[in-house]
Structure 1
Amino acid sequence: MKPPLLAWTILTANLIAGPVDFVREVRPILEKHCYSCHGPDKQKSGLRLDIKADALHGGDAHAPNIVSGKAAQSPLIQFISTDDEDTQMPPKGERLSKLEVDLLTRWINEGATWPDGVDTAKTVDKRDHWAFKPLPPQQGSLDSFIATKLAEKGLHLSPEADRRTLIRRLHLILHGLPPTPEEVEAFVADNDSKAYEKQVDRLLASPRYGERWARHWLDVIAFGETHGFEVNTPRPNAWPYRDYVIQAFNEDTPYPQFILEQLAGDTVGKDAATGFIVANAALLPGQIGKDEESKAKARQDELNDMVSVTGGAFLGLTLHCARCHDHKFDPVSQADYYGLQAIFSGVRHGERPLKSAETRKYEEENATLLPRLAKATHRLIQFEPVSSALQVMSLTSNDAQQPLRPPVHTHRNIDRFNPIPTQKLRFTVLATSENNRYEPCLDELEIYNTAGQNIALAGQGAKVTASPSWDSGKHRLIHLNDGQYGNDRSWISKTKGAGWVQVEFPKAESIEAIVWGRDRLDEFSDRLPIQYRVEISNAGGTWQLVASSQDRLPYPGPKARLSQPEPQDASKVSAWHEARGEVSALESKLNTAKTGPMVYAGRFEPAPPSFRLNRGDVTQPKEEVSPGAVSALGAPLNLDKNAPEQKRRIALAKWLADPANPLPARVLVNRLWQHHFGEGLVNTPNDFGRNGALPTHPELLSWLASEFIHSGWSIKHMQKLIVMSQTWRQSSAPHQDGLTADAQTQLLWRFPPRRLEAEALRDAMLTVAGTLDLKMGGPGYSAFAPNNNYVRVYDPKAEFGPADWRRMIYMTKVRVAQDSTFGSFDCPDAGQSQPKRPRSTTAIQALSLFNSSFVNQQAEILATRLQGDAGKTPAQQIQRAFALTTQRQPSTDEVRVCESLIRDHGLPALCRVLLNANEFLFVP
């Protein structure tokens, strides 16, 4: 049959034509059919076809879309050729003709030649951005950078504020508390040229400083003391992280150390610090779903939060945007994102022991306990009869005729067999106590080689797998060989009465016994395996029985008190008692050493393999990725895929603290600037990328970052530098020239006044009323009435007492629930990171502040204080009230109006008015 005329024409043309010309033949096809979706204005699926580098790199889902020399394997050809309406391209409009498809096919098969310099557009270099550039050498001063910008607008710095304003401003910014009248008067009267600097040093050295500044960091990472979501159950042991942050600020922990402690505090004696990694909300196991896909999706969300918080807090980058594809604006690839996920792949939400100097002493002893316990257990094993599993050919007929062994025990069971080489052992449960009503449980599976070593331990490199298993805080597969005993560190099958676990050693071993129990602490007796098989994988890869429950006496029930029988050989009784006593003593020490307070700071497990996910879909894993960071920033991490979990977190912390990476220093000093002036030099503090705001003073920001590093990464040094500057010490009074040229005060021609945050408002009220409890640390107070519902209902308290009069940072932070009075003042609900609080003005705020029971209570107490401080004369009471709340004396007119108010409505009414006055509520 002759080919159709068109096909014959194409075939003939191909034979006589030269190589396909990209500019003359290929680009017109792409422009006609592809640019509308994959051109300069739109790049669906991340694919752009008008720029050589982007086109040959490919899109998000099928990269590379053009496989040079292999048209049949090129997704571009597949999509323009298929008849499948769901995948064909273009999805709408005119399809490519056969001649056009054949032309593109030839072009790719010929090598997809795309000459340089012919693109009509240029690829944007995502790395070419101010925030990613190296920090320049130090030049200039803080005030000089501000003055230069002001001069461009014909403006200049305002005069310095008066001393009463300055000391109030200092106290409110650095402490979040107003100064006492006595502190104000002493400062006003101090003629020392360094009086102001002495005030700064005193405030920075006070423990009140850390309580103020820790709150800002907790906002950044969305720290909360409940899990969030629908159930929103408490995390009663999350508060040690809050205390850690307070302490870190008070001690002026160098920033690289601050980073290291929060990512790997378990390596440097700061266990609570890793609460940073798990500060976000998280679903509980019962909220996830039982199928594996639902669990995998929930786990991906957890890891995404860890990467997102780390990226936002330390780098000021929206790393989570690279979860499904390369970042559209910043130099963060999808591979970078999953490399960062691999850093945290061994971190799980949950609690672990909060170590102290005392528990560390026990921990050092623990390092010797496990090997000693293994040796003692191996001695005890030698008194056990060999199992009569006849399938093992090396066993003798005499061995098989031994009396039945004791029944299964909840505490400790020993299955001994003749030494046999293997690299894998499997323990299969066939039936459990209580007629298979429950899933079987094992708290530890120990496997002994002939040298007396427990080679099943994860710390020795053994890996465990199992039939479908529970995955909760107490019951996890990794608990099977972690060297810890008891129900709280156990494995549970998901199958009632049955299940299996398998242990693989790093190399082949000659083994002779296993030791196992349902609960070594002997507190629980349910879920006990009473029928089981122990098998090893032989050289041929088949499973061979080495022990079973068939040669044991029948299980007598949970109430029977069982004990191991003494050896029948009298000469061995003494040695048996000695070995048994040593095992019991060592087990007791091991369990005692692991008790102690707990902290919600994450649990660390061996890191599983990590994979890049196609479009972020857990059901579409692509290539395996190594732990890594953002490849466009700093030096590469160069971590192996099998790098230990802890080493991964340490490496990331060091990468972040490397001065070669300019972002961490820039981001941190911008946060400091924001909380001193009310607005950062970059007003998107968690987004320094190309989609974020440009800095108002880029040179100043870089200078501050360089100074930060040069100072030894001292946060207090930077804060002193800021508050000592003329810029910060300016008057806040407005003038017309400034308002006309810069109404938002972005150029800082005056100090920008602003309302205090919720916490500072509440703390200031308690301070002037004389009720503030300065107790530091420990579990916080609650703003909500107690309840124990499954789904937590957080109803605000109706009354508050002395136990609730601590600083607001010590209020238990409930997610998505607010304090009834101060929650309306733009207080974050810990649902997500809030590095910059909005400042709204609403009727609810005014009504809450004027009518709340808390404010009225403190107004009554303040009135009582005034009577004690100033006596019964209204004029003296008014003077004292103004000194406490505004740090100044009232004018004659103010005294007259206040006396009238007291006369008509009483002294508490005056106190209530002053606690609602703008002068009290604002930083001057």
Structure 2
Amino acid sequence: MRVVPLLWVVLSASLVRAEPVDFVRDVQPIFRVHCYSCHGSEKQKSGLRLDIRSELLRGGDNYGPALIAKQAADSPVWQLVTSTDPSTQMPPEGPRLTARQVATLTDWINQGANWPDGADDARLEDKRDHWSFRPLTNPSVPTISIATWPRNTIDQFVMAQLDQAKLHPAPEADRVSWLRRVTLDLTGLPPTPQEVSAFVRDLDPKAYERVVDRLLASPRYGERWAQHWLDVVRYADTHGFEVNTERPHAWPYRDYVIDSLNRDTPYDQFVREQIAGDQLEQDSATGFLITASVLLPGQIGADEPSKRLARQDSLDEIVVNISQSFLGLSVGCARCHDHKFDPVSQQEYYALQAFVAGVEYADRDVRTPAALALKQEEIALKAEIEAINQQLSQLEPLARVETIPGRETSAQLNEETFDPLAVRYVRFTIHDSNHHPTLGLIEPCIDEFEILTDEPTPRNVALASLGTHVSASGSRTSEIHKLEHIHDGMYGNSRSWMSSEAGRGWVQFELPQAERVGKVRWSRDREGKFSDRLPTAFTLEAGPALDQMTTVVSQGVLRAPVNARRNTDRISPVTTRQVRFTIEATNNLEPCLDELEVWDSSGQNIALASAGAQVTSSGDNVTPDRHELRFLNDGVYGNSRSWMSSETGKGWVVVEFPQAKSIERIVWGRDRPGKFADRLPTEYRIEVGDASDEWQLVAGSMDRKPYLPTEMPAAGFSTSGLSPMEVTRANVLMDRKKQLEQQATMAAEGQKAFAGKFRDPDPIHRLHRGDPEQPKEPVVPAVPTVLGTLMLAADAGEPKRRLALADWIASPENPLTARVMVNRIWQGHFGTGIVETASDFGRTGTKPSHPALLDWLAGEFLRQGWSVKSMHRLIVLSATYRQSTQYQEAAAAQDADIRLLWRFPSRRLEAETIRDAMLSVNGQLNLKMGGRGFNLFNQRGGLSGFNPVESFQGDGLRRMIYAHKVRREREAVFGAFDCPDAGQSTARRRESTTPIQALNLFNSQFTIDQSVALADRMKKEAGDDLTAQIRQTYLWMVCREPETDELVEATAVVQQHGLATLCRALYNSNEFLFLP
């Protein structure tokens, strides 16, 4: 700061002052005019407030205390008002303080900065004094006016509020309405006509209780209520952001929530498991920690600041998820500054972050009994796959270290000569062909093939007219392309044979008798009009019998080009102690290898580190825990366990074995799972050597087809260069291998959950303004002091941190946990919680409508052992819940939002319940539970959008909670019904009414399909009688028979338009779509 010129003026003016400075008379007016607009009650820029003495002494975000008594020159507030630096001077705009005002401020500070008690311009509200931060009370049950109305304690608290407002409860709902309400409420499905009939006939006073117990015992209950929780934690099956790639192993967490609710896992245990389930034998439960959107490594900048910011963002999501889900607090504001409303300081926010500083967004192998069984299955399948690989390796062409000679083939005429021999069988095998300019590699074609005898005037003995028989690997037949055209003596594309396989195929000729042959002639199109589909690599075999055929011509037969997944280089057995893999070119960037395998003659991969092999390299581009040299031979496939060279386009690695071994196969890949194809070595050498540093070349890319970036060669085995018999054998093996690989993949998938990985915690610092590049003092794991005193040492281990946090949240002493959960349960039944802001119990949230009832419910929750089902049972059996929806004009005028519950607040069903109910009544609902979700959207490519599926069958008719949830996308039909997109937490779904809802539900293909299915079901159940069909339709859809006028109208509709039209109309009726 530049303060010297003004300092002289200030000191000069100060020397003439003799009387003491009065704060109220002299200083406070200066603050009011020049400072309060930015540092008063409305705003506190940089966290600094000057209208309250304690806040001035506390200071702001950038400094410590803003004022040091008797030391004006050392006081930040004085330095700022005297600065001449435009970037720091205060006030930043408007008139500056005059020299006399600065002198007054200087004298006041130097005289001791006396600020009399009671002189503050504002009262600092105690943020800690808030109802939700106080311990649970044990409210006494109130006395009420209608003592006969309550059915349990809930009703007495509700009635007491109604008494105060001079309101009366609505009459009790009829039995059918209550049954439909409670069945939809607890299971998300409507009751069947049989269930309605049985309940109406059962006049036992315990009938209501039996219904509730039956519904709570149903697996459908967990599916229904899990949706409420998944809304809160923003569960989805994709990662979000622009790329929005699939999160394929998210679903185990969804299944965990469903199962926990069905088992009535005590809520305190439910909390503990979701924070530290890996320590509590519930591996999938920690999926809760990482349900939010996340940037994948490829979406984060390569620079370190970008990585640090992404890490901070991910930790923030975890802290916010924990605090709002379990505690009903929004602590995210404290990432950058002290919370403006709630008693959570910035230091306390980062102390919370320290509890989860070892959590990473990632898949993890789970240890459930089912997963462990799948692990054993996977091991057995992989052993069988490796046995097939051993057999296929014997069919792999030997790598050749010389460049393969060849010549350019001609479309018009090619002659192949060889030493004459007695021939009865000739086979021409095509291994490659030229590429069509737009279609790429397509089926090769030959218009005529001639077999010429070795005599002065050669005869073409291949002609069909001489009795020669021809067969082929396969033929693409049309009017102009037929197998018999290949030896009919006529030329041109219109008289040719075309293979059925792209780039390859074979034809075989059987002569009537043996002939001495030394030459063949063939052409693609002897007329010269066509040059596409031309064979460029082939072998010619000939002999007196099929089992005596030898290769007489080999033209340009190359091994398959490299691919990103798996490449095999088979060599003649050689004994060595070292193998060097040298990369000379890549398709881009620094080369990357996920695994380098060296197989010996006994079928063992001796390159594994576990077998004692050691690896060295030319240099490593290290990303910790992702790209390291040790991953080259760790036996684990995938980009996240790979080696990357430090040089662009080149590099080398050496594998050294404990002792010399006879080797015959090297297998390598860029990314065995096939997700990445960049950084692929396209030119390479493989050498063997010993301690003398002399290397022998044994394989390389010189005998492979060139890599073409426009074509992605398939991984695995290539039949290029094999005889037909070998191709047949290879195809059988590859078909079996494909089946086994699919089974192994399914077994592996079933062992994983997107539930986070845990490592040593990162050091956590308070970050100035939330900026990872401005770390301040370190913090240790601790909770906000307004809620407790938990604090751990800095060296506390990772699982200990999460366990301690989980135990603190799940403690009966925590004032928020039980209150927040019983409020969520209440909201699920009545549409609105006792606290309307279900995830904000802080000072910006709403006050409870029934504070005593909330605390009584929370206390009862604890007394019932944190049983969620017990709370459901209590609520749905209350007289409050059993009220009708009858409208009362006087009550509505006083309490339009029905917060006092003078009637049951009817509401529209959620999107998932509407879809499930439609499928339930028509008998199409697939009740399969668990596992990967069904698709609501077709696969998309790149950054393009997701196209909705329009017609569903099989798994697509499961309950909607099992849909593959795509973040940032809404389902085409039901997304309009306020279905959240998991972009953020949804504590309470809003309920909108829009034209698109009616249009979707009436005109969609889904509704049309389900209406037809429902009509078919009704016809089967009711027979041919039209009236019976209509009555049955009403019973299934709205739990009652039609009124007389409804029956008349419905009959007219069905007679004119069919029963499916009536079903479609009822699907759109309020009676079907709303809770009664």
TM-score (norm 2): 0.67
Give the 5 Å matches for 1:558-597.
559=699, 597=751
Q: Secondary structure at the residue paired with 2:777?
A: strand
In structure 1, which of residues 184, 187, 190 is the aligned counterpart of residue 199 of structure 2?
187
Confirm or deny: 8 A CA contact 2:627 2:644 kept in the other structure.
no
The answer to whether residue 801 in structure 2 is matched with residue 648 in structure 1 is yes
Confirm or deny: 8 A CA contact 2:352 2:783 kept in the other structure.
yes
Confirm or deny: 8 A CA contact 2:372 2:751 kept in the other structure.
no
Once residues 666 and 311 of structure 2 are traced to their aligned partners in structure 1, the CA distance between those partners, rounded to angstroms, is 33
Once residues 236 and 603 of structure 1 are traced to their aligned partners in structure 2, the CA distance between those partners, rounded to angstroms, is 16
1:839 aligns with 991
Once residues 1051 and 8 of structure 2 are traced to their aligned partners in structure 1, the CA distance between those partners, rounded to angstroms, is 107
The answer to whether residue 354 in structure 2 is matched with residue 342 in structure 1 is yes
Give the 5 Å matches for 1:899-914.
899-914=1051-1066
The amino acid that maps onto 1:754 is: R
The amino acid that maps onto 1:166 is: W
**1:440/1:231 Cα in 2 relative to 1: closer, same or farther (>3 Å)?**
closer
In structure 2, which of residues 837, 846, 857 is the aligned counterpart of residue 704 of structure 1?
857
Once residues 796 and 901 of structure 1 are traced to their aligned partners in structure 2, the CA distance between those partners, rounded to angstroms, is 32
Confirm or deny: 8 A CA contact 1:407 1:555 kept in the other structure.
no
1:532-576 Cα distance to aligned partner (Å, 9 max, x none) = xxxxxxxxxxxxxxxxx996635656859xxxxxxxxxxxxxxxx
2:292 aligns with 280
Once residues 760 and 1001 of structure 2 are traced to their aligned partners in structure 1, the CA distance between those partners, rounded to angstroms, is 51
Which has a greater percent of strand? 2
Q: Is the deviation greater in 627-636 or in 275-284?
A: 627-636
1:870-890 Cα distance to aligned partner (Å, 9 max, x none) = 111111111111110111111
In structure 1, which of residues 626, 629, 636 is the aligned counterpart of residue 780 of structure 2?
626
**1:555/1:222 Cα in 2 relative to 1: closer, same or farther (>3 Å)?**
farther
1:703-734 Cα distance to aligned partner (Å, 9 max, x none) = 11111122111111111111111000001111
Confirm or deny: 8 A CA contact 1:150 1:156 kept in the other structure.
yes
Once residues 522 and 645 of structure 1 are traced to their aligned partners in structure 2, the CA distance between those partners, rounded to angstroms, is 41
Percent identical across equivalent pairs? 48
Q: Is the deviation greater in 638-647 or in 192-201?
A: 638-647
Once residues 904 and 183 of structure 1 are traced to their aligned partners in structure 2, the CA distance between those partners, rounded to angstroms, is 32
Residue 845 of structure 1, CA deviation: 0.4
Q: Is the deviation greater in 481-490 or in 859-868?
A: 481-490
The answer to whether residue 927 in structure 2 is matched with residue 756 in structure 1 is no
In structure 2, which of residues 170, 175, 189 is the aligned counterpart of residue 158 of structure 1?
170
**1:196/1:4 Cα in 2 relative to 1: closer, same or farther (>3 Å)?**
closer
2:578 aligns with 407
**1:189/1:52 Cα in 2 relative to 1: closer, same or farther (>3 Å)?**
same
Q: Secondary structure at the residue paired with 1:119?
A: coil
1:849 aligns with 1001
1:7-51 Cα distance to aligned partner (Å, 9 max, x none) = 67546457x666x65445443432332122212233222211111
In structure 2, which of residues 228, 239, 244 is the aligned counterpart of residue 216 of structure 1?
228
1:65 aligns with 66
1:402-457 Cα distance to aligned partner (Å, 9 max, x none) = xxx953678xxxxxxxxxxxxxxxxxxxxx7548984577999xxxxxxxxxxx99
**1:896/1:32 Cα in 2 relative to 1: closer, same or farther (>3 Å)?**
closer
Once residues 194 and 669 of structure 2 are traced to their aligned partners in structure 1, the CA distance between those partners, rounded to angstroms, is 67
The answer to whether residue 761 in structure 2 is matched with residue 607 in structure 1 is yes
Residue 594 of structure 1, CA deviation: 10
Once residues 177 and 868 of structure 1 are traced to their aligned partners in structure 2, the CA distance between those partners, rounded to angstroms, is 22
**1:798/1:497 Cα in 2 relative to 1: closer, same or farther (>3 Å)?**
closer
2:186 aligns with 174
1:369 aligns with none
The answer to whether residue 508 in structure 2 is matched with residue 496 in structure 1 is no
Q: Secondary structure at the residue paired with 1:623?
A: strand
**1:766/1:435 Cα in 2 relative to 1: closer, same or farther (>3 Å)?**
closer
The answer to whether residue 212 in structure 2 is matched with residue 200 in structure 1 is yes
Residue 810 of structure 1, CA deviation: 0.4
The amino acid that maps onto 1:705 is: A
Once residues 760 and 116 of structure 1 are traced to their aligned partners in structure 2, the CA distance between those partners, rounded to angstroms, is 61
Confirm or deny: 8 A CA contact 1:433 1:557 kept in the other structure.
no
1:892 aligns with 1044
Confirm or deny: 8 A CA contact 2:223 2:258 kept in the other structure.
yes
Once residues 595 and 817 of structure 1 are traced to their aligned partners in structure 2, the CA distance between those partners, rounded to angstroms, is 25
Q: Secondary structure at the residue paired with 2:766?
A: strand
1:797 aligns with 949
The answer to whether residue 962 in structure 2 is matched with residue 830 in structure 1 is no
2:31 aligns with 30
**1:478/1:255 Cα in 2 relative to 1: closer, same or farther (>3 Å)?**
farther
2:887 aligns with 734
Give the 5 Å matches for 1:216-365.
216-357=228-369
1:747-805 Cα distance to aligned partner (Å, 9 max, x none) = 11110111100000000000110111111000111111234x12253101132223311
Confirm or deny: 8 A CA contact 2:49 2:56 kept in the other structure.
yes
In structure 2, which of residues 860, 869, 874 is the aligned counterpart of residue 716 of structure 1?
869
1:827-866 Cα distance to aligned partner (Å, 9 max, x none) = 0011111111110111100011111111111111111111
**1:775/1:55 Cα in 2 relative to 1: closer, same or farther (>3 Å)?**
same
2:820 aligns with 667
Which has a greater percent of helix? 1
Once residues 162 and 634 of structure 1 are traced to their aligned partners in structure 2, the CA distance between those partners, rounded to angstroms, is 48
In structure 1, which of residues 863, 866, 889 is the aligned counterpart of residue 1018 of structure 2?
866
Q: Is the deviation greater in 139-148 or in 256-265?
A: 139-148
The amino acid that maps onto 2:755 is: A
Residue 139 of structure 1, CA deviation: 2.6
1:40 aligns with 41
Q: Secondary structure at the residue paired with 2:290?
A: coil
Q: Is the deviation greater in 723-732 or in 111-120?
A: 111-120
Residue 488 of structure 1, CA deviation: 5.9
1:85 aligns with 86
The answer to whether residue 771 in structure 2 is matched with residue 617 in structure 1 is yes
Confirm or deny: 8 A CA contact 1:70 1:109 kept in the other structure.
yes
The amino acid that maps onto 1:676 is: H
Confirm or deny: 8 A CA contact 1:487 1:524 kept in the other structure.
no
Confirm or deny: 8 A CA contact 2:630 2:643 kept in the other structure.
no
Give the 5 Å matches for 1:6-155.
9-10=12-13, 12-13=15-16, 22-67=23-68, 71-105=72-106, 107-108=108-109, 112-140=113-141, 141-155=153-167
Q: What residue ranges of structure 2 are gaps of 5+ in the alignment?
A: 1-5, 142-152, 377-575, 597-608, 611-618, 652-656, 660-664, 671-678, 682-688, 701-746
Q: Secondary structure at the residue paired with 2:84?
A: coil
The answer to whether residue 693 in structure 2 is matched with residue 553 in structure 1 is yes
TM-score (norm 1): 0.77
The answer to whether residue 700 in structure 2 is matched with residue 688 in structure 1 is no
Confirm or deny: 8 A CA contact 2:374 2:751 kept in the other structure.
no
1:467-508 Cα distance to aligned partner (Å, 9 max, x none) = 86336xx715698799986666646457328999xxxxxxxx
**1:639/1:226 Cα in 2 relative to 1: closer, same or farther (>3 Å)?**
same
**1:116/1:813 Cα in 2 relative to 1: closer, same or farther (>3 Å)?**
same
CA RMSD of aligned residues (A): 3.5
Decide which structure has the larger Cα Rg and report it: 2
Once residues 491 and 246 of structure 1 are traced to their aligned partners in structure 2, the CA distance between those partners, rounded to angstroms, is 37
Once residues 1018 and 13 of structure 2 are traced to their aligned partners in structure 1, the CA distance between those partners, rounded to angstroms, is 101
Once residues 646 and 273 of structure 2 are traced to their aligned partners in structure 1, the CA distance between those partners, rounded to angstroms, is 41
**1:622/1:736 Cα in 2 relative to 1: closer, same or farther (>3 Å)?**
same
**1:654/1:701 Cα in 2 relative to 1: closer, same or farther (>3 Å)?**
same
The amino acid that maps onto 1:308 is: V
